[in-house]
Structure 1
């Protein structure tokens, strides 16, 4: 397989993973997989939550494809698909766990409109503590926060935790 084809396959996989993540988050994690994901919509008493098992579950296909492509003689493209899945997982970890949920200490402050938008969208997703009624299921692509706030209001704010105001704004000047 040429390097250009491998790179293209890798990049396409990373891009398609956003759609896969949306589907899994919307219809599995907030569906039959809620028994694991519910821990992520509550205060975390320690470093880990049951929802962290999803990282291990989603790493399995990546590991198997890389192993198959590198060691087991499978089509070489599987290596690059597995690497793309792993890269998306690393991007997700950096964005979701480090930047948004601050599971590792960082001094990062979002400056770009894009980063502010996706962080605020994810925080708006978390104002709902229940399985139903949430908004914004993507991780790297998100609707405008104004649209999400309007949708929460339209739904009657069912399941929305009492606001301190901090999770509904992205800019301290808006507080």
Structure 2
């Protein structure tokens, strides 16, 4: 039974991170911290890294803290939460940086409806070059309309 609770904690932490990512993306990255995120929308900087990449470090800190405290002090609940946060960060890197933005030339093409929907939603997000009037701030959960082929209508 304990293993199911531990796995449940990992899953809840992972899924909660989508909410955290959406909120911080919409209200911090497109708000107070726009100075770091702006170059991700406007491609102001040349080279492999962007100022936006500092968010990788910022968002890694809670996961690192949970993993450290959980393992050093034997607080398993905190450890499992840290694992969930870290797994979300890894998925974010795979989906956002590798699949969507092609920072490494792998996973270019797909026929998967879910991945195509995420890519469409992210493209709509980047259509907005300023911090206001954005849409699709999440990463793994986006509105249903983006999972349909262009021109296809949802069944009523």
Q: For residues 108 and 10 of structure 1, what CA distance do their matches in structure 2 show?
A: 29
Greater relative contact order structure (CA < 8 Å, 6+ sep): 2
Identify which range, 108-117 or 80-89, moves more after superposition: 108-117
Displaced runs of 4 or more, over 2 A: none
Which residue in 2 is equivalent to 1:129?
129
The runs of 5 or more residues in structure 2 that have no matched partner are 151-156
Which residue in 2 is equivalent to 1:110?
110
Q: Give aligned pairs, total.
A: 146
Matching of residue 80 in structure 1 with residue 85 in structure 2: no
Return the TM-score normalized by structure 1: 0.79
The runs of 5 or more residues in structure 1 that have no matched partner are 147-168, 170-175
Which residue in 2 is equivalent to 1:27?
27
Q: For residues 96 and 5 of structure 2, what CA distance do their matches in structure 1 show?
A: 30
Q: For residues 76 and 107 of structure 1, what CA distance do their matches in structure 2 show?
A: 35
Return the TM-score normalized by structure 2: 0.88
Higher helix content, 1 or 2: 2
User: Cα RMSD between the aligned structures?
Assistant: 1.6
Q: For residues 114 and 41 of structure 2, what CA distance do their matches in structure 1 show?
A: 24
